[in-house]
Structure 1
């Protein structure tokens, strides 16, 4: 009888398990483990769109799309070039690291998409409009002054405003066509001290305004930072856009702050925010929102949850970062959207056509340092760990040229090939102590070499190691580990970069066969 029951169970148990609902995998915070700060977000139909800050990078103000708030794909940029000035062009010894365009505002109104941003570099506010956020084209307008951390707002009566400032928050009305400030109007203070809900001992005064209207009330989100504390969300609400506003401390956990509100088509609400997380940068979080007595209440018992009742992430590759074999079919973009140039590129000196299946970077001038060199092609690093690699051909580099693979930030690291007095060497350079130091040099007897950079962001370790290979199979570490450090002068998470610059004579070129990125540590 025991044998009969056992046999019966053997045949029936799989059928019983098959009838049980599969356990749904949940999304985890952070929803994007990569540098995507200052997010602004909208929902249009069943799609969500998000813009973010990329400052000195070109093209700028990336646009990302998602169907579930978790899995995002780059679909466009608001501009190719912010402005044609020395600081953005890396010319005459000038740069705009940590500046360029900052926190954007993203809106959809009467069939038109609007992206606004501002730039300390130019002292202007920029407004980009399009009917097709994914394909463009974009129409650009700019005017002075540069309205800091502004929020664009279309009110129900047809009037258009910017809310902006730090600590003391202000309101200004724009022309109906958003071409500038409406004549005859002046700025007005709507909140005298927006940091007040977080106390009196404030280090960073309230900024990062994002204004929303829900059920007839105005809700203004800001970030502030009490001294000795952490980044904090404060929310003010009012019955009129001009106030008076009453405020509350809305979230104080893990330093997750700065962002706004988004609702799903199912009627659920979330706050999109970000967290400073060391060298990888500022990484996005989602926090569930419940409405209580007309206030959005953020988090679970006031805390940022580790998991969310949303679909699980499928990973950041290839939506946010991606490998590139540098092969292109007819109709392909010259460069996939995951790529951005460090400052404005000189488009005469890079090519994907000069040698099929390769990215060619040609020098057009001499430079004194990596950070001032033009045409470094970059994309984000990702956490908790990642590896970037490339194969480089330096046959046509000239004396004094240096070409290779970088981890870009103020305290950068490089591995590449230097050509000095007719002799080639594999060189690792570390600027981990602020000043670049050549840590190791190995003679190179061939014209091709494989290069690799490995990043470990787990638990804020922020360690990078560099490798080279002479055959693409056997890897050798070079130099020393780089302690990656997020610095405010660059204000950006570390990025992989492909570079080539001249120190003696222009006109040489390096060919990159591919760039490959993985979301794991690969040291072999």
Structure 2
């Protein structure tokens, strides 16, 4: 009997160990535990490219590349700045928080890559094209109309279509040079994209159109009242209809996106999930075909693991450390960085002090969210931390500099110069009124700062720390209950380096490095 129990235990341990090994060698959902929403994807040969949304951040419309659908790296942006207007420049009290550029569409046709987006700030649609998506240059076409969540489609007969709208979906032919709609071609494609989900259903947007084996498939998202984000699929033999619709997928709110095939003829749906304050995170879900319909999921569910290579982590290709020490020929800022709104390039430098990022003040700002030149990277889950070493020797009276957990309800840890005295501070904007929770006199010019973010089980807590020697870390202020706000910012939390003036211009702060980690203190 004892021998039987031992054998049984060994078999159980062996099976458990085999499961752990299998999970470690396979991809896991989500494939990117960070804010990469509104994804659009193509495959060119054995290489996948994906575009996404970063709203009011610049450069904008990030382009990512992968060989396996799991491990992605930043390779380009469609634009450096979208528009030179007050909203984008944080001037005259205006901003484009929650707007900027929204859902993009990426396509490949006749050896040319196309990336398009639209803006709720400028109310225009932008189509960028290039023969080399990783190096450019980009050609820009601007259409003086806002085509919401559009999908551009190159059909086999040479016609080019654009589909857009919310609930009532519209279609039109584009001119051959994509410079606008052919007159008289715009019409209703589908009267109610939400109809397959019944009544009291919201949204009906996020259009992405595909053609597989001669049939057209249009993917959209809906949201039944009291339910979850849901995939709706319409199918037609002819792009002019008639269209037949059905619910395509409903599990964990994983929705909005499209489908992609692999070189070995497997299919996946690429979708995303609203995941609390970390943002909207991408998932891959297997697809099989039955009776001419894509059937998404494993028994209708999102699988935890996928028969794809395991992730190597988001560092260094999605987020990364930066020592701010550039070699000749290197980019001033790696692609992991984005500015909050349009930067003032005269007010930052990596050359004035070798090995440091210098952020200079050039105007007076009463509030952090109105200030220029906050430099950001994504946070990521399940946990992460960001840290820096700040030199405040050259700050001026009324200056604030440091590290932020950045969203509308932000938190900050940093140094302020008030009445000639340097003070460490922690501020919370949880109540939409920036509130200093603690300040401490600082008797030195160099201070280490750190923020830790915990997204496990959507706990969504950020903690703020400082150190005088880089070894002994002390928490300052209180915890920030991070909150994803929709129309106000519409982005997952980011780490940000900031320096702004409230009384005098001409001061500056030097950041020695930025380090990011997938570990936090327990």
- Please give the TM-score of this superposition, normalised by the length of structure 2: 0.95
Does 2:183 align with 1:195? no
Partners of 1:236 and 1:247 within 8 A in 2: yes
In the alignment, which residue of structure 1 is the partner of 2:447?
449
In the alignment, which residue of structure 2 is the partner of 1:471?
469
Partners of 1:391 and 1:451 within 8 A in 2: yes
| RMSD after superposition | 1.1
In the alignment, which residue of structure 2 is the partner of 1:431?
429
In the alignment, which residue of structure 2 is the partner of 1:417?
415
Residues in 2 aligned to 1:205 and 1:389: alpha-carbon distance in whole angstroms: 39
Partners of 1:190 and 1:244 within 8 A in 2: no
Correspondence list, 1:67-466, <5 A: 67-182=67-182, 184-202=183-201, 204-466=202-464
Deviations 1:94-137 (A, max 9, x none): 10001000000000000000000000100100000000000111
In the alignment, which residue of structure 1 is the partner of 2:17?
none
Partners of 1:469 and 1:475 within 8 A in 2: yes
Residues in 1 aligned to 2:198 and 2:213: alpha-carbon distance in whole angstroms: 29
The Cα of 1:330 is off from its aligned counterpart by 0.8
SS at match of 2:457: helix
The Cα of 1:185 is off from its aligned counterpart by 2.3
Residues in 2 aligned to 1:29 and 1:102: alpha-carbon distance in whole angstroms: 24
In the alignment, which residue of structure 1 is the partner of 2:45?
45
Residues in 2 aligned to 1:343 and 1:28: alpha-carbon distance in whole angstroms: 33
Residues in 2 aligned to 1:185 and 1:268: alpha-carbon distance in whole angstroms: 40
Residues in 2 aligned to 1:333 and 1:158: alpha-carbon distance in whole angstroms: 39
The Cα of 1:194 is off from its aligned counterpart by 0.8
Residues in 1 aligned to 2:81 and 2:184: alpha-carbon distance in whole angstroms: 31
In the alignment, which residue of structure 2 is the partner of 1:8?
none
In the alignment, which residue of structure 1 is the partner of 2:33?
33
The Cα of 1:25 is off from its aligned counterpart by 1.1
Residues in 1 aligned to 2:300 and 2:84: alpha-carbon distance in whole angstroms: 46
The Cα of 1:186 is off from its aligned counterpart by 3.6
Partners of 1:387 and 1:522 within 8 A in 2: no
Using a 3 Å threshold, how does the CA distance of structure 1 residues 317 and 24 change in structure 2: closer, same or farther?
Answer: closer
In the alignment, which residue of structure 1 is the partner of 2:6?
none
**Unaligned runs of at least 5 residues, structure 2:** 1-20
SS at match of 2:462: strand
SS at match of 1:313: coil
Residues in 1 aligned to 2:156 and 2:421: alpha-carbon distance in whole angstroms: 69
SS at match of 1:479: coil
In the alignment, which residue of structure 1 is the partner of 2:8?
none
Residues in 2 aligned to 1:89 and 1:32: alpha-carbon distance in whole angstroms: 30
Partners of 1:40 and 1:52 within 8 A in 2: yes
The Cα of 1:513 is off from its aligned counterpart by 0.2
How many residue pairs get aligned? The number is 501
In the alignment, which residue of structure 1 is the partner of 2:495?
496
Deviations 1:459-505 (A, max 9, x none): 00000000000011100000000000000110000000000000001
The Cα of 1:22 is off from its aligned counterpart by 8.7
Residues in 2 aligned to 1:516 and 1:250: alpha-carbon distance in whole angstroms: 42
Residues in 2 aligned to 1:152 and 1:208: alpha-carbon distance in whole angstroms: 12
Partners of 2:113 and 2:129 within 8 A in 1: yes
Residues in 2 aligned to 1:141 and 1:422: alpha-carbon distance in whole angstroms: 52
Residues in 2 aligned to 1:243 and 1:398: alpha-carbon distance in whole angstroms: 66
Residues in 1 aligned to 2:149 and 2:427: alpha-carbon distance in whole angstroms: 36
Residues in 2 aligned to 1:481 and 1:295: alpha-carbon distance in whole angstroms: 48
SS at match of 2:464: strand
**Unaligned runs of at least 5 residues, structure 1:** 1-20
Residues in 2 aligned to 1:92 and 1:516: alpha-carbon distance in whole angstroms: 34
User: Which piece of structure 1 moves more, 427-436 or 278-287?
Assistant: 427-436
- Please give the TM-score of this superposition, normalised by the length of structure 1: 0.95
Runs of 4+ with >6 A deviation: 21-24
In the alignment, which residue of structure 1 is the partner of 2:12?
none
In the alignment, which residue of structure 2 is the partner of 1:17?
none
Residues in 1 aligned to 2:287 and 2:131: alpha-carbon distance in whole angstroms: 30
